[in-house]
Chains A and B, each alone.
Chain A
Amino acid sequence: MSISRRNFLKVSVATAAAASVGISLPKKAEAAGADVDKWVKGACRFCGTGCCVYIGVKEGKVIAIKGNPEAKTNFGFLCVKGFLAYKCMYHPDRLKDTMIRQKDGTFQKVSWDKALKHVTDKFKSLHSKYGKDAVAYYGSGQAMTEESYTFNKLFKGGFRSNMVEGNPRLCMASAVGGYISTFGSDEPVGSYADIEYSKCIFLVGSNTSECHPIIFRRIMRHKLKNPDVKIIVCEPRKTSTAKIADLWLPVDPGTDLAVFHSMAKVIFDNNWHDEKFMNENARITNGKETFDLAAYKEFLKDFTPEKVEKLTRCPAENIRKAAEWFATSGASMSLWTMGLNQRTKGVWANNLMHNLHLITGNICKPGADPFSLTGQPNACGGVRETGTLCHLLPGTKPVANSKWRAHIEKEWELASGTIDPKPGFHTMKMFDSLGGEESADKPIKGMITCTTNPAQSLPNLNKYIKGMQDSFLVVIDIFPTRTTQLADVVLPAAFIYEKGGVYGCSERRSQLTEKCVEPVGNAKPDAWIAAQIAKYMGLEKLIPWNSDDQMKNNEMAWAEYIRVTKDTDHTLEGATYDRLKREPAGLQWPCPSTDHPGTYKRYVRGMDPMFEHAGFKAKFGVTMPTDRASYFYMDKKGEGKANIWLRPYAGPAEAPSAEYPFYLTTGRVIEQWHTGTMTMRIPEIARAHPNGYLEIHPDDAKKYGIVAGDMVEVTSIRGKSVLPAVVTKASLPGILFVPMHDQQMDRMINFVCNDAVDPGSKEPEFKIAAVQIKKISGPVNVADKYIISDINSSF
């Protein structure tokens, strides 16, 4: 490379970085263009933060990425994952051809026509032999909104089947249940912008520094600028997030419900609650009856910090201090992720977080908000909002709601009664019901998965592998995975920058990514695949966006979606494709018209457009009194109130016993992402945390004669896993931690995890299992950075 080009590139990237923070450089590159033909606006593919990026394209290749300085999510900065997307795109392991498994077990490359014919002939045959619910769809919070919407419409409107699920069931369903049961409507009240207004930040069950690095960065910078801001971390493990914490609430896994109740008790005992706000905006309830404040206080009387310390191992003094800071800071914001959700009491845990905000009035004002962060980039926009789950329809309204069903049927031009009023099976039940044609007890005989890897990511895997193996399994993905190893047909998918579409991140913000380059090999966009399946099954009228112009297809699907949901509280009617192309930072719903700027905070008069939305009020029979500054208008009782829930204490489904004396908890580490399908192929990400490993406290390690690197067998009543030990004080004694990204069979921790589900959200208790451990051997040279490269490798 010539010196002048090197210098040009250096000055060019520096100029762009300087411009992003408003610094002018003495020596400017001719253009801060980093030698690209064009910059294309888009979103990052790798987490629910929703960082906005520009993709640099040159000669049909992605050769640069930069953060969008105008973005309201990341202000121009990206974490390492965001930059390394090109390694996924151009990795030699990318699936490039359609493949059908042959009798000898190997895959044969076939044309798209042959693959689609094979898939749809089989689906037709299964439908005719076993009924409309014999084929299921299992989607993903990584699919584009248009893709989820298309598959949802194809199944619910075309096949008349509600056997539609997605992996957000495994990570976010309890947050959805929490929002709906407390406020009557899914998704947060506020926005990331509350971080910079907050005086106290309560991080619960979220290793923000590892899982949402850009959010963590915002919190860290806010704290650095304002040292008086208090940061409280409530987590079983002392994670890297604790670096910036003023107070750590260590708790045994699954016992934090007692801590939240205890904080509420301390708040009431000290009169730190906001009774006026509570009276106007909330009701105290157990779901059957409503109660007065005295009854709530009576309910809490046993949750003294001292008693709760005995139950949870969280020091009483820390509970008191946390309650004080939370209630008296003036603006407290809570942020949480899977630690609160992946539990058999996940909905309750979410409710109790909302309780703390409602009793202190820490909601509906700047800096005060209970905020659930999503793990996947489009769990909110793609799956929750389009209703691509077994019990929902677009607009996050239940399939069992006859009025909404009739509305959707009309919009989709279907005969009345087409959509089945009965919800399909939730994820765990769906996989439990999946099997071969010879299995009379397995009603689901075929499945299509889109951008997800259930053969690695489901808990208690031993129970579900056979069903996937025996059924007719069609997998749409960009890489070979554990699930392609069980598939009958593999369809190669395009990467986000090869197809475009909309992602909706944790803060109700929808952002459009435009197609940047052509897909590799014969890969195709998932929405195109869905539309072709519809066409081959004679349903092209239902899904007419089946041309070869993918941005046009996307736009048609999006336009229909925002029309169908225009009168809901989630309205994106004003977020047309034209507008999303122009808007530098996307748009937050509700956004009811093309001149509306999007909504920073819901339920607040003057901020939330639903107060004035005639169509919404008429459709949902909502009336709003003019004297209320805030009004929870989706309240089922029509009083505009949120529910403060009296949820009794309940621990995890499995507690340690003499035989299984340890708690096992699982999670993500910074560079890895979910099952590692993509991130494990990026060498520097793989190197940082290459294998699954077992974190164990030094006291426990000593007791079992374990030193760093020793191979340890972890066993629950469901299965076992063998991992190298990492001895660290990051966890409390008695608590083990294993990350979840490793694809190597022995180290796949999901064989050990619990598949017991929350009765409300049906989300499984990934986070907590009772286990025993045994040292197997000293350090072994384990197969580092194991990935599945060969499509013909067996499970």
Chain B
Amino acid sequence: MIYSGSIVFIEPDCLEEVSEMLDDLQGVDIHGVSKDKKQLVVSIEAESDELLEELSRKIKSFEPVLDIGHHVMHFEDEVDNILQGKKIPDLKGFQRSRRREKNPLDAV
């Protein structure tokens, strides 16, 4: 398991909307909100850092989300798995390559 402590930066007046969207994401917990209601403190729990990255991308793709910044990552289980030979960094997953996604600039 990987845990990240992250800040989600959002548009003004969108706290409720974003909170609902984040609540729907498994592994994402909201822990606090800044006074100006433009920053949410979240933890993300994911099986691996590839999934954590995917969750981050998903969060960033929400319309009122301006950005997500990761501050801390805890990966003890991952390190143990690698050191015990239980997990060799895999070479699968190419199909999700970002370069095969539509380039947003193509529309420009």
Interface residues of A (CB under 8 A from B): 1, 6, 9-18, 20-21, 23-27, 34-35, 56, 58, 61-67, 69, 76-78, 80, 83-84, 86-87, 90-92, 217, 220-221, 224, 238-240, 242-243, 681-684, 686-690, 693, 708, 726, 728-730, 784-785
**Chain A minimum-CB-distance residue to B106:** A729
- The reply on B77 being an interface residue by CB < 8 A is yes
User: Are A729 and B76 CB-contacts (below 8 A) given A6-B45, A683-B91, A784-B94?
Assistant: no
Q: Within 8 Å CB of A12, what residues of B? A: 5, 74
Instruction: Say whether A18 contacts B41, CB under 8 Å.
Output: yes
**Chain A minimum-CB-distance residue to B29:** A10
Question: Which residue of B39, B43, B89, B106 contacts A13 across the interface (Cβ within 8 Å)?
Answer: B43
**Chain A minimum-CB-distance residue to B45:** A10
- In the assembled complex, the Cα of A681 lies from the Cα of B91 at a distance in Å of 9
Instruction: Say whether B41 contacts A688, CB under 8 Å.
Output: no
Instruction: Say whether B82 contacts A91, CB under 8 Å.
Output: yes
User: Are A9 and B31 CB-contacts (below 8 A) given A84-B49, A681-B89, A684-B49?
Assistant: no
Among B39, B76, B100, residue most surrounded by chain A Cβ atoms (within 10 Å): B76
0/1 string, B1-31, CB within 8 A of A gives 1: 1011111000000000000000000000101
0/1 string, B74-88, CB within 8 A of A gives 1: 111111101101001
- In the assembled complex, the Cα of A29 lies from the Cα of B33 at a distance in Å of 16
Q: Within 8 Å CB of A682, what residues of B? A: 89
- In the assembled complex, the Cα of A11 lies from the Cα of B3 at a distance in Å of 10
Instruction: Say whether A689 contacts B97, CB under 8 Å.
Output: yes
**Chain B minimum-CB-distance residue to A66:** B72
- Knowing that A25-B31, A242-B105, A683-B50 are A-B contacts, what are 12 other residue pairs whose CB atoms are under 8 Å apart, sorted by A's residue number? A1-B77, A12-B5, A14-B5, A25-B41, A56-B74, A80-B70, A91-B89, A92-B85, A687-B97, A729-B105, A729-B106, A729-B108
Instruction: Say whether A686 contacts B5, CB under 8 Å.
Output: no
Task: Give me 9 A-to-B residue pairs in the complex whose CB atoms sit less than 8 angstroms apart, sorted by A's number.
Answer: A10-B45, A14-B42, A25-B41, A34-B5, A35-B76, A66-B73, A687-B96, A687-B97, A730-B105
User: Are A14 and B88 CB-contacts (below 8 A) given A64-B72, A240-B105, A690-B97?
Assistant: no
Instruction: Say whether B3 contacts A13, CB under 8 Å.
Output: yes
**Chain B minimum-CB-distance residue to A8:** B3
**Chain A minimum-CB-distance residue to B93:** A687
Instruction: Say whether A688 contacts B97, CB under 8 Å.
Output: yes
- In the assembled complex, the Cα of A684 lies from the Cα of B89 at a distance in Å of 9
Dominant secondary structure of chain A at its interface with chain B? mixed
**Chain A minimum-CB-distance residue to B53:** A684
Among B50, B73, B97, residue most surrounded by chain A Cβ atoms (within 10 Å): B73
- In the assembled complex, the Cα of A58 lies from the Cα of B96 at a distance in Å of 34
User: Are A14 and B31 CB-contacts (below 8 A) given A83-B73, A224-B66?
Assistant: yes
Instruction: Say whether A63 contacts B76, CB under 8 Å.
Output: yes
Q: Within 8 Å CB of A21, what residues of B? A: 7, 34, 39, 41, 71
Instruction: Say whether A17 contacts B83, CB under 8 Å.
Output: no
**Chain B minimum-CB-distance residue to A689:** B99
Q: Within 8 Å CB of A684, what residues of B? A: 48-50, 53
Q: Within 8 Å CB of B69, what residues of A? A: 77, 217
Q: Within 8 Å CB of B103, what residues of A? A: 728-730
Instruction: Say whether B105 contacts A693, CB under 8 Å.
Output: no
- In the assembled complex, the Cα of A13 lies from the Cα of B46 at a distance in Å of 13
User: Are A20 and B71 CB-contacts (below 8 A) given A1-B1, A6-B45, A10-B3?
Assistant: yes
Instruction: Say whether B72 contacts A63, CB under 8 Å.
Output: no
User: Are A64 and B53 CB-contacts (below 8 A) given A25-B41, A224-B66?
Assistant: no
Q: How large is the interface on B (under 10, 10 to 19, 20 to 34, 35 or more residues)?
A: 35 or more
Q: Within 8 Å CB of B7, what residues of A? A: 17, 20-21, 77
Q: Within 8 Å CB of B85, what residues of A? A: 92
Instruction: Say whether B50 contacts A687, CB under 8 Å.
Output: yes
Instruction: Say whether A23 contacts B91, CB under 8 Å.
Output: no
User: Are A80 and B53 CB-contacts (below 8 A) given A14-B32, A687-B96, A689-B98?
Assistant: yes
Among A26, A90, A92, residue most surrounded by chain B Cβ atoms (within 10 Å): A90
- The reply on B90 being an interface residue by CB < 8 A is yes
- In the assembled complex, the Cα of A9 lies from the Cα of B43 at a distance in Å of 9
Instruction: Say whether A14 contacts B70, CB under 8 Å.
Output: no
Q: Within 8 Å CB of B91, what residues of A? A: 683, 686, 784-785
Instruction: Say whether A10 contacts B96, CB under 8 Å.
Output: no
Instruction: Say whether B76 contacts A18, CB under 8 Å.
Output: no
**Chain A minimum-CB-distance residue to B73:** A83
Q: Closest Cβ of chain A: how far from B88's Cβ, in Å?
A: 6
- In the assembled complex, the Cα of A63 lies from the Cα of B1 at a distance in Å of 11
- In the assembled complex, the Cα of A686 lies from the Cα of B1 at a distance in Å of 20
Question: Which residue of B43, B89, B97 contacts A14 across the interface (Cβ within 8 Å)?
Answer: B43
- In the assembled complex, the Cα of A187 lies from the Cα of B96 at a distance in Å of 40
- In the assembled complex, the Cα of A729 lies from the Cα of B104 at a distance in Å of 10
Instruction: Say whether A34 contacts B43, CB under 8 Å.
Output: no
**Chain B minimum-CB-distance residue to A783:** B91
Instruction: Say whether A23 contacts B32, CB under 8 Å.
Output: yes
Instruction: Say whether B43 contacts A10, CB under 8 Å.
Output: yes
Q: Within 8 Å CB of B97, what residues of A? A: 687-690
Q: Closest Cβ of chain B: how far from A470's Cβ, in Å?
A: 34
Instruction: Say whether A16 contacts B71, CB under 8 Å.
Output: yes
Among A684, A708, A730, residue most surrounded by chain B Cβ atoms (within 10 Å): A684
- In the assembled complex, the Cα of A401 lies from the Cα of B93 at a distance in Å of 56
Instruction: Say whether A18 contacts B93, CB under 8 Å.
Output: no
Q: Within 8 Å CB of A58, what residues of B? A: 76
Instruction: Say whether B82 contacts A92, CB under 8 Å.
Output: yes
Q: Within 8 Å CB of A240, what residues of B? A: 105
Q: Within 8 Å CB of A61, what residues of B? A: 76, 79-80, 83
Q: Within 8 Å CB of B33, what residues of A? A: 23
Q: Within 8 Å CB of A27, what residues of B? A: 31
Instruction: Say whether B75 contacts A63, CB under 8 Å.
Output: yes
Q: Closest Cβ of chain B: how far from A691's Cβ, in Å?
A: 8
- In the assembled complex, the Cα of A91 lies from the Cα of B91 at a distance in Å of 13
Instruction: Say whether A14 contacts B79, CB under 8 Å.
Output: no
Q: Within 8 Å CB of A80, what residues of B? A: 53, 70
- In the assembled complex, the Cα of A6 lies from the Cα of B6 at a distance in Å of 16
Instruction: Say whether A13 contacts B5, CB under 8 Å.
Output: yes
Instruction: Say whether A65 contacts B72, CB under 8 Å.
Output: yes
- In the assembled complex, the Cα of A595 lies from the Cα of B1 at a distance in Å of 45
Instruction: Say whether B71 contacts A66, CB under 8 Å.
Output: yes
Instruction: Say whether B106 contacts A17, CB under 8 Å.
Output: no
Instruction: Say whether B79 contacts A63, CB under 8 Å.
Output: yes
Q: Within 8 Å CB of B67, what residues of A? A: 217, 220-221
Q: Within 8 Å CB of A14, what residues of B? A: 5, 29, 31-32, 41-43
Instruction: Say whether A34 contacts B72, CB under 8 Å.
Output: yes
- In the assembled complex, the Cα of A736 lies from the Cα of B53 at a distance in Å of 29
Q: Closest Cβ of chain A: how far from B43's Cβ, in Å?
A: 4
- In the assembled complex, the Cα of A16 lies from the Cα of B42 at a distance in Å of 11
Q: Closest Cβ of chain A: how far from B58's Cβ, in Å?
A: 15
Question: Which residue of A23, A689, A690 contacts B39 across the interface (Cβ within 8 Å)?
Answer: A23
Instruction: Say whether A35 contacts B31, CB under 8 Å.
Output: no
Q: Closest Cβ of chain B: how far from A143's Cβ, in Å?
A: 25
Q: Closest Cβ of chain A: how far from B82's Cβ, in Å?
A: 5
Question: Which residue of A90, A687, A708 contacts B94 across the interface (Cβ within 8 Å)?
Answer: A687
Instruction: Say whether A78 contacts B31, CB under 8 Å.
Output: no
Instruction: Say whether A690 contacts B5, CB under 8 Å.
Output: no
Q: Within 8 Å CB of B99, what residues of A? A: 688-689, 693, 726
Q: Within 8 Å CB of A69, what residues of B? A: 71
Instruction: Say whether A17 contacts B71, CB under 8 Å.
Output: yes
Q: Closest Cβ of chain B: how far from A57's Cβ, in Å?
A: 11
Q: Closest Cβ of chain B: how far from A534's Cβ, in Å?
A: 34
Instruction: Say whether A11 contacts B79, CB under 8 Å.
Output: no
- In the assembled complex, the Cα of A690 lies from the Cα of B100 at a distance in Å of 11
- In the assembled complex, the Cα of A686 lies from the Cα of B43 at a distance in Å of 25
